[in-house]
Each structure stands twice: as structure tokens, then as C-alpha cells.
A and B are shown apart, each in its own frame.
Chain A
Amino acid sequence: MEKQWYTISVYSENNVGLLNRISGIFLKRHINIEGLNVSKSEIEGVSKFTIVVFTTEEWTRKIVGQIEKQVEVIKAYYHIDDETIYQESALFKIKSDLLFDERQIQNIIKESNSQIVTVARDFFVISKTGRRNEIDEMHDALEPYGIMQFVRSGRIAVSKAEMPITNLLQEFQNQ
């Protein structure tokens, strides 16, 4: 079976220890987590994990089954890239003098739709939000000028299809 990128979305109760349980499922199957983001979701009191893996659909399906089995997990879904709208953010820290001396850097910032977050005496910081390859491209473009620090977030994603969590919760409540 062919490997590809999968985004796993997990809706759960907000609970200490659940991250440990969920990451353990990947650990047991020797599947590397390529991106992980945990935040609150559209539903009050419900957390959402967005986990990115590069593997086969079969493994993804089995993992999602194991995740859903956890007591505090409300529902888990998985999607391929085409089925989601997703983004990552990155910060680039660069020497300040380059901002003024290198016209090319100004062009990069303009063309890539990124923003300058701060300018200090010694450095300035650019933030870029986009797909992984866009951030990679920007990284490659800036690399020759020297990047003092670089950091990238986990993926955040919403699915194109509905994830009917509210209805599900309603159903649980009525049971």
C-alpha cells in the first residue's frame, strides 16, 4: 500500500494524560508523528488534536481505531491533504542589516505574502503562514542570507467535509 500524508483530527475531553495515551499508540506501531497541534475546538470544553503522519491508509485506519477506543476521545477522523484546508506557521529570525542592504530579501517578503513581525537593532523576524512546501520554499530563498533562527509550528487543519461532532455529543447526551 502506498504511503502518503494523513491528517488525523481527534476531538476529546480536555484531560491531563490523554496526550500520553495518544502518542503511545503511535509509538507502539513505530509510526513517527510529523506534526502535532493541540488546541481548543469549535465546541466549548472539547479539545482538538491535529496529528500529521506519513504512512499507509491501512495503518492510519488502525491507529484511528485505537485512538477512538480511548475513553476520553469523542471521535477521530483522518483525511488526505486534498480533503483538508491546512496551514503551518513559521518564524524566521534574520540579521537586521540585511533588511536594508539586501533588496532581494524585501522582494522575498513581498512575493511570499509574509509579514515582518518585529524589527530590533540586531535582528528582524518574519512570519509566514502557509502550506509546508511554501514555507520550505521561503526557507530555501532566505537560506543564502543566513537564518539566525527558524521554527515551524505543527499543522492546523479543517476538513472540507463536515465533522459532525456537535450532533455526536448531542447523541451521547441523549443516550
Chain B
Amino acid sequence: METVKALKKKHKNNSTIKISGAEAIIHCLLEEGVDLIYGYPGGAIMPVYDELYKFQDKLTHILARHEQGATHAAQGYARVSGKVGVAMATSGPGATNLVTGLADAQIDSTPIVCITGQVARHLLGSDAFQETDIVGISTPVTKWNYQITRASEIPKIMAKAFYIAKSGRPGPVLIDITKNAQFDELDFVYEKCTGVRSYKPYPKPDLKSIEAAAKLINDAKKPYIVWGQGIILGEAEAELKKLIEKAGIPAAWTIMGESAIPTDHPLNVGMVGMHGNYGPNVLTNECDVLVAIGMRFDDRVTGSLDTYAKQAKVVHFEIDPAEINKNVKAHVAVLGNAKQTLNLLLPMIKENDHATWKAEFDKKYQIEYDTVIKNDITPSKEGLTMGEVIEQINIASENKAVIVTDVGQHQMVACRYAKFKQSKSNITSGGLGTMGFALPAAIGAKMGAMDREVVAIIGDGGYQMTIQELGVIFQHNVPVKIVVLNNDHLGMVRQWQELFFESRYASTVMVNPDFVKIAEGYHIKSNRVSERAALKDAVEEMIASKDPYFLEVKVEKEDNVFPMIPSGASVSDIRLK
């Protein structure tokens, strides 16, 4: 099919060209540079699907097996590519199935645009077949949403949707479009949105606050940086690296910020949070200046707020004014996009070297290594650990893979032990903690970076929440690698039951199907490992495969993830066992 632009060129006339609303939707997507969308059809969105059929050569549609899968795939795609992910569904149940993905994208600031069909305008509010108030339902979990009821609104609203999804602090946008608006015709003209009167995506940086931040950093004896996803979303990786190197500041990350700086960078001291590293957690309560960049002091990161970094002056670099003083009081708040503000800060920073302070982190690392890490990565007991599997994946992929994790123990272990060289390599559901995220997100991640190795690491529980997406992998031959770390339990919940509910394992034991047979049913190459001796070769074979590959690893049934900050406890009270 020819685009409107091409048609106009051919006919060399400037008179408007009338097209249907459904066709207009496709042109809007093409104008925004979209060439791939995920979705699931149904009655109220059929006119758009009909157009998709005609435009197959320009716009690929991947049929998910469940609308939730479509949203997570769009998220995975957005997170590795830095572009906007798109998912589409029909009205009613199709639309409600998007809600989990929207909520996940909202809390993790992932730019996606979801398009849903809706009953015709004259039926709205009549409880028509498959009518649901998706705009009402999705309001708390979208950055913005809108119901289009007239074809003429389509170009403007679609342009606004993409602009809002990707600008400022990114997030999900939902556009609901009534069936009459898909059928009716409009004069199609497209103009990209460059601003919305009431919306200020990038707060203006204020030089005074940057000077105040520089002074605190320059005067600090024990400065400490904790960065989050704001670095990745703001593409400020290079600026962050310059800052930590110039001032010699140890820097730690939240799981959403992981991979922004290579794991082996000497000043990268590890992960903060509930299952983060020992030093980065404990030393939060010993630093004199805490510089938080593009992170939002989630409760999984801070533990008890009453005891969090009370001794420190807090400098908060943040794009979203509503995050300032929300959880932790900032002595200096620097508003703005991290790339811009760090660039303004850098010339004001004095060269420094905090070797003695950095050595504190090394000492703590040694303690953690001896009590935890050694046993996780090079265990001497018989059963396989999750940590050694991750380590084998690091080795086989030369630390170059995109690691997509689900939610649970394996997620924490993967975030702790996966090694990265490149930014945008750790894709996980950080804020919502959505089981079922990883398999579809890995599909999206692979499609967003076909040249990269993508390895999904999933628990036996979460795998079965979206296992149907194996169908997409098979149908489109998406060469993702899937590793299920099978402990026959809902491991993370079981760990809590063991530690805090006197080992009453209420409904956390899982009797699982034969996962290898299931993968084979989808014609996906697969293998199962239950012994250490076979692990290395199995992982190597998986990584070497050009095709999709499923690997089940039977790991120890009742291993726990440590260190751990029990919920509500202080970061200083992190337990090593």
C-alpha cells in the first residue's frame, strides 16, 4: 500500500486525501517511525486490522497469545531500543487484559502507546457488547489516555500520544477509539506534536541548585552516588561515568539503573536494595553526601525511611518534580533531564580521589564474598544454585547479553550476578514486580535489538503466567534463549514463609509439568540440566544456538537469596544469612 505522502507526491496535488479513520491510524504509526506492533484482534478493532493486512509490507504485526503478552513485548522492545513500543487490542476483555502491562510501564516509566477499539459512539454508556470503560479503568495506570470518538481527531491525538509517551519522564499512553471513528473518513494531514500547552516534560535546570550540588560534592569526605533508570532514560551514561571518574566517587545502582555503567568499572560498587550488595546498603548510612541520580527512593531501596541516610546531605537529580521530597528529603534538588544537568555540573566538579572511602566498599565486598557470593557462584554443596547458572551465562555470552528477568528469587540473583558491558541490557519489572513479564518482554527485547543475544531468566511460577507466548517465539522464530530456574516452588514467597512465617509453605509448592515437552510441543529446541557437570555445556549450546532455545535448570528447591533487608528494617540491618 502507498502512504498518503507517496500518493500526494505521485498526483502532485495538494488537495486533501480522504481516508478512513482506521487507515489514518496506520499512517500515524508510520509517521512516528513505528514498524512493529504487538496485538490481538477482535470486533471493535477490526477495521484497523483490515488496514494492517493491507500495509503488511510497512508495518509488522505480531500476534501475541494474550494481550498482557503484547504489552510486555512492547515494553521489552521499548526498553532495549529506546523507542516507543506499541500494543493494540480490541474493546472489553482485550482492553482490560492490557491493564497489567500499563501499570508495569507506568511505574517503570516505559514509553508505550496502547490502542484499543471501542464500541461505536452512539452505543457508549449503554453496556453494549464488549463495552468497557477502559479510559476510566486505565486512568491511574497511564501517563495520559484519551477516547477518540470522531475520525477527524485521530492525527492530532495520535501525535500527542507519542509525544507524551516518550518525552520527559516517559510512560504509557492509551488511546481508545470508537468503531465509528475507525470507519468514518477524514482529510488526513499529519504533524508531529512538539509541545502541549499545559505539559512541561523537562523542568528547566536551575544553575543555583547545580552550584549548590557541586559544592556539596566537592566538600564531601565520603560522597556516594546511587543512580537509577533516569540515567538510561536520559541517555546520561557517559556523563555519569565522567562524574564518578573525575570526582572518584563510588557509585551503586538500583535494579532499574543496572547496566548503565559496566559491571567491572572500578567505581561501580554494586546494587542497593532489599537483596542488594552489603557495602552499598550499609554504607548508605555512613556516607556524608548521598547523590541520588534519576532514582526515586523506592521502599525496596530505602528500607525504613526513619533510618535511611540520616547522617548524609542528600542531593537529588530528578526529572519529575513530584519525586522531590516524596520519600527522602533532599538538601539540594536538581530538576531536569540527567544528561543536561550532569553536563552543567561536570565543569564545576573538582578532581578527587576518595580511595580510603572506596576501600570501605572493598572491605565490605570481601565480607559479602566470603559469606554469600562464593557459595552462590562456586558452590561446594551438591544442588545447583541460581547464581552459578547466571555465572555460566555471563561466561558463555561474554557479558554481552541482554538479560530479561521475571520476578522472584531468580530475578534478584540475576540482577546480583549478571555482568554487563553495555547500557539497556537489564530488562526487569522493577516497580510493579510483575510475574509473567519476562517471556513476552524477551520477545520484544529481541525484536528491538536483533543483533544482540537475549536471555530470559524465569522462575517456574512466573513462566506459567505467560507460557502461551511460546507460540509467538515459534510462529515468528524469535531467537530468544529461555532459561527456567526450576525450584519447584514459588521461591521468593517460600523464602519469606521460611524466614517470617515459621516455614508454613502455604500454596508455594509447585507440581510442575514437563517443561521440556511443552517447549517441544511448540517446536522449540530444548534441554534440561539437573547436574553441575552438565551445566557449562548446556549453557554453551544454548548460547551458540541460532534458533530459539529453551533450557530448564533444576536448581536447589529451598535456597534463599541473601543478603536481605527484611521489609521495614534499616539498610544497616541487612542480613548476610
Chain A interface residues (CB < 8 Å from chain B): 12-13, 16-17, 20-21, 24, 28, 61-62, 65-66, 68-69, 71-74, 169, 172-173, 175
> Can you name the residue of chain B whose Cβ is closest to the Cβ of A11?
B198
CB distance from B197 to the nearest CB of A (A): 5
B196 in contact (CB, < 8 A)? yes
Docked pose: A169 CA to B196 CA in angstroms: 11
Chain B interface residues (CB < 8 Å from chain A): 135-136, 139-140, 143-147, 164, 195-200, 320-322, 324-326
Known A17-B135, A68-B321, A173-B197; 20 more pairs at CB < 8 Å: A12-B198, A13-B198, A16-B147, A17-B145, A17-B146, A20-B136, A21-B139, A24-B139, A62-B325, A65-B326, A68-B322, A71-B144, A71-B199, A72-B198, A72-B199, A74-B197, A74-B198, A172-B198, A172-B200, A175-B195
CB distance from A28 to the nearest CB of B (A): 7
CB distance from B192 to the nearest CB of A (A): 16
Docked pose: A126 CA to B161 CA in angstroms: 49
CB distance from B91 to the nearest CB of A (A): 17
Docked pose: A175 CA to B144 CA in angstroms: 22
For A172, what are the chain B residues with a Cβ–Cβ distance below 8 Å?
195, 197-198, 200
CB distance from A150 to the nearest CB of B (A): 32
Q: A173-B197, A175-B195 are in contact. Are A28 and B164 (CB under 8 A)?
A: no
> Are the C-beta atoms of B139 and A20 separated by less than 8 Å?
yes
> Are the C-beta atoms of B139 and A17 separated by less than 8 Å?
yes
CB distance from A46 to the nearest CB of B (A): 9
> Can you name the residue of chain A whose Cβ is closest to the Cβ of B163?
A71
List 9 A-B residue pairs with CB atoms under 8 Å apart, sorted by A's residue number. A16-B147, A17-B146, A17-B147, A20-B136, A21-B140, A68-B322, A73-B198, A169-B197, A172-B200
For B139, what are the chain A residues with a Cβ–Cβ distance below 8 Å?
17, 20-21, 24
CB distance from B526 to the nearest CB of A (A): 44
- Which of B136, B140, B195 counts the most chain A CB atoms within 10 A? B140
For B146, what are the chain A residues with a Cβ–Cβ distance below 8 Å?
17
Docked pose: A1 CA to B200 CA in angstroms: 31
Docked pose: A62 CA to B139 CA in angstroms: 19
> Are the C-beta atoms of B198 and A71 separated by less than 8 Å?
yes
> Are the C-beta atoms of B322 and A69 separated by less than 8 Å?
yes
Q: A13-B197, A17-B139, A74-B198 are in contact. Are A69 and B320 (CB under 8 A)?
A: yes
CB distance from B326 to the nearest CB of A (A): 6
> Are the C-beta atoms of B197 and A65 separated by less than 8 Å?
no
- Which of B136, B146, B198, B200 counts the most chain A CB atoms within 10 A? B198
> Can you name the residue of chain A whose Cβ is closest to the Cβ of B160?
A71
CB distance from B169 to the nearest CB of A (A): 8
Docked pose: A16 CA to B144 CA in angstroms: 12
CB distance from A10 to the nearest CB of B (A): 11
The 8 Å CB contact of A65, one of B135, B145, B321, is B321
Docked pose: A87 CA to B380 CA in angstroms: 75
Docked pose: A169 CA to B199 CA in angstroms: 11
Docked pose: A16 CA to B139 CA in angstroms: 12
Docked pose: A109 CA to B248 CA in angstroms: 76
Report the 6 A-B pairs with minimum CB-CB distance, sorted nearest first.
Answer: A65-B322, A74-B198, A71-B144, A71-B199, A69-B322, A24-B140
CB distance from A173 to the nearest CB of B (A): 7
> Are the C-beta atoms of A62 and B198 separated by less than 8 Å?
no
> Can you name the residue of chain B whose Cβ is closest to the Cβ of A74?
B198
For A71, what are the chain B residues with a Cβ–Cβ distance below 8 Å?
143-144, 164, 196, 198-199
Docked pose: A172 CA to B394 CA in angstroms: 49
For A73, what are the chain B residues with a Cβ–Cβ distance below 8 Å?
198
> Can you name the residue of chain B whose Cβ is closest to the Cβ of A63?
B322
Docked pose: A16 CA to B153 CA in angstroms: 15
CB distance from B103 to the nearest CB of A (A): 13
CB distance from A69 to the nearest CB of B (A): 5
Docked pose: A42 CA to B491 CA in angstroms: 59
CB distance from A137 to the nearest CB of B (A): 39
For B140, what are the chain A residues with a Cβ–Cβ distance below 8 Å?
21, 24, 28
For B322, what are the chain A residues with a Cβ–Cβ distance below 8 Å?
62, 65-66, 68-69
CB distance from B201 to the nearest CB of A (A): 9
For A21, what are the chain B residues with a Cβ–Cβ distance below 8 Å?
139-140
Docked pose: A71 CA to B136 CA in angstroms: 16
CB distance from B398 to the nearest CB of A (A): 42
Docked pose: A20 CA to B145 CA in angstroms: 12
Docked pose: A173 CA to B195 CA in angstroms: 9
> Can you name the residue of chain B whose Cβ is closest to the Cβ of A169?
B197
For B324, what are the chain A residues with a Cβ–Cβ distance below 8 Å?
65
Docked pose: A92 CA to B288 CA in angstroms: 63
CB distance from A151 to the nearest CB of B (A): 27
- Which of B139, B144, B196, B325 counts the most chain A CB atoms within 10 A? B139
